[in-house]
Structure 1
Amino acid sequence: MAPVELVDDGSGGTVVMMDGHPQSHVQLDDPRLLVFEYVQFLAALVDALPQGPLVVTHVGGAGLTLPRYVAHTRPGSPQVVLEPDVELTQAVRDHLPLPRGHRIRVRPVDGRAGLPALADASADLVVVDAYADGRVPAELVSTQWFTDVRRVLRPGGLLLMNTADEPNRRHLARLHASVAQVLPHTAAVATSEVRKGRRFGNTVLAASAVPLPLEAMTRRVAMTAFSATLLHGEQLARALGSARPFGDEDAQASPQPPAVDRWRVR
């Protein structure tokens, strides 16, 4: 595994660096303070769900930012985190300790190996936010993978997935097709610049076997600090165009991110 670097942000927070890329930002004194745009989008979509504890499976852990947020905003939520990098998890536990009374369990296994060990219909929410070398691994984009995600979700459960793509969004289109083949009710959130194809960047996908709480999701996304839009239905279909789903046999990792100062294309 790559070396872990914990960087003080100068404002009481810590950035967890992996593979030369910022993976997480953690604010120990206020887990509700979320700096990265895509983490705000993930949290907004979680907040759109009915109040109360949630049973959550996280694929990818890094600084455990979202698990900390869920533990704070929905006390008593049992959470399982599948994170294969034992060195990373230990560094986070040592320097960024989890809060008292948390119900977060980290298992030292990757998503594709760890998910089959989870029981059917055992999670209200599955969050996929896993990167290796700055890319979403190919094994986490296929219809076979999402079929197992659906198995783990309870009836009406929600999948949230963070991904990143180039301005042409071709990888995102195929990833969305893979998700929609299994969980047909989908939506996507990105900043205006990313949605309009002006730069490389993150998109958060939401998907379920049942209709999404779109009004609540739209309202929550509008409350974030970023100019962002929730696309769904025909609007999302037009934005991404037609695409062939990924299968295990042809799955591809998300594109390599460019140098930070070259993320804008126009």
Structure 2
Amino acid sequence: MGPHGNRRAPLRTLVTSGLAELRPDPERPQGWTLLVNGVPQSYVDLADPGHLEFPYEKQLGAVLRLWAPHRVREKVLHLGGGGLTLARLLHHTRPGFSQVVVERDPEILALVSRVLPFPGEIEVRLGDAREELEAAEPASFGLIISDVFVGAAMPASVAAEGFAVAARRALHPDGLLAMNLTDVPPLAHTRIQVATTRSAFDELTLYGNAEVLRGLRVGNVILLAGNVPMIEARKTERVIRGDDLSIFMGGARPLLDEPR
């Protein structure tokens, strides 16, 4: 039985960006999918914060395990709240980490807080991702996870060069930036995002489904910058780094900020 009567009944509510829905998972008694305007945003299993349902969540989870095996106290900034899936995971696996989550939509946060309560140790702020990042003290975070979308699109304020510069400034020298991207063939957005992030970081890696990174279908790609761990791709995955990443980027140029 869920927190509000019929466990199998989806919950829908109007939010700032449209219509949000929490859809119960018939296979997992405490599993829920958060959708906004019909687009899946997050999956949360209240009984098992280590369960990651979406492929991109699993890939980010794999990166976090590689990056933080010996780290016990780090400060983490999550840009984009959703269901707080990765914040819940880190609280479960790295309880010594201090986490801040920034969510721009108060109605989404209210829905998640009511139906999918999260640990009180996770600090959640209402705000704009770019503004919160620029307001951060230099070298104040070990890890920044960017999962910011309006529907299925990343806002320009997060995709532009100024965001990459602000992220580099806010990270420790050995810190890591992990960005969730979505793209369609021929991955023009991803190529531009690589060029944009490279304007602020020396080391970059792309990680994702092999068919997506070969431009064969729509999907998510993880862009990593900074102290990137060595990732061994599984059979259906692909990792692009070094000279191969330069070839992948081609002639793409950084996305400059619009006048503010």
TM over 0.5: yes
Contact residue 164 and residue 202 of structure 1 kept, 8 A:
yes
Q: Show the counterpart of 2:237.
A: 228
> Which is strand-richer, 1 or 2?
2
Task: Give the 3-state SS of the residue equivalent to 2:67 in structure 1.
Answer: coil
Find the residue that maps to 2:191 and give its secondary structure. helix
Amino acid at match of 1:238: I
- Which letter does structure 2 place at the counterpart of 1:57? L
Please provide the CA RMSD for this pair: 1.5
1:110-149 equivalences under 5 Å are 110-149=128-167
Aligned residue in 2 for 1:249: 258
Counterpart of 1:49, as a letter, is W
The partner residue of 1:63 within 76, 79, 83 is 83
Residue 20 of structure 2 is aligned to residue 20 of structure 1: no
For 1:170 and 1:32, the matched residues in 2 are separated by: 33
Query: Which residue number in structure 2 is paired with residue 80 of structure 1?
Result: 100
* Counterpart secondary structure, 1:89: helix
Q: SS state of the match for residue 95, structure 2?
A: coil
Q: Which stretches of structure 1, 4 residues or longer, exceed 6 Å deviation after superposition? A: none
Q: Distance in 2 between matches of 1:14 and 1:246?
A: 36
Q: 1:151 offset after TM fit, Å?
A: 1.1
Query: Contact 2:43–2:52 (CA<8 Å) still a contact in 1?
Result: yes
Q: Which residue of 2 aligns with 1:6?
A: 22
Specify every segment of 5 or more residues in structure 1 that has no aligned partner in the other structure, as ranges: 251-266
Superposition TM-score, scaled by structure 2 size: 0.88
Higher relative contact order (CA 8 A, sep 6+): 1
Question: How many residue pairs are counted as aligned between the two chains?
Answer: 239
Tell me the CA shift for residue 242 of structure 1: 2.5
The 1-side partners of 2:137 and 2:84 are apart by: 22
Deviations 1:214-266 (A, max 9, x none): 2xx22xx53xxx7212211112222332210000139xxxxxxxxxxxxxxxx
2:48 alignment partner in structure 1: 30
Counterparts of 2:240 and 2:51 in 1: how far apart (Å)? 25
* Residue 73 (structure 2) pairs with residue 53 (structure 1): yes
The one-character-per-residue Cα deviations of 1:68-108 (angstroms, maximum 9, x if unpaired) are 01111111211111101111111111101114xx5211110
Alignment equivalent of 2:121, drawn from 96, 103, 111: 103
Rounded to whole Å, the distance in 2 between the matches of 1:69 and 1:213 is 19
Match for 2:24: what amino acid?
Answer: D
Preserved contact between residue 205 and residue 239 of structure 2 (Cα < 8 Å) = yes
How far apart are the structure 1 equivalents of 2:156 and 2:258?
10
Partner of 1:202: 220
User: Contact (CA 8 Å) 1:54, 1:74: kept in 2 or not?
Assistant: no
The percent identity for this pair of structures is 35
Counterpart amino acid of residue 27 in structure 1: D
Q: Secondary structure at the match of 2:223?
A: strand
Note if contact 2:198-2:204 (Cα within 8 Å) is conserved in structure 1: yes
Q: Take 1:91 and 1:4, find their aligned partners in 2: how far apart are those partners?
A: 9
Give the whole-Å Cα distance in 2 for the aligned partners of 1:213 and 1:21. Answer: 30
The aligned amino acid for 1:72 is H
* Equivalent AA in structure 1 for residue 256 of structure 2: G
2-structure distance, mates of 1:117, 1:186: 24
Counterpart residue identity of residue 113, structure 1: E
Question: Match for 2:201: what amino acid?
Answer: L
Q: Unpaired segments of 5 or more residues in structure 2?
A: 1-15
**C-alpha separation between the residues in 2 aligned to 1:119 and 1:104?**
19
2:110 to 76, 82, 90: 90
| 2:251 match: secondary structure | coil
Q: Partners of 2:79 and 2:252 in 1: how far apart?
A: 25
CA contact 1:76–1:103 (8 Å) conserved in 2: no
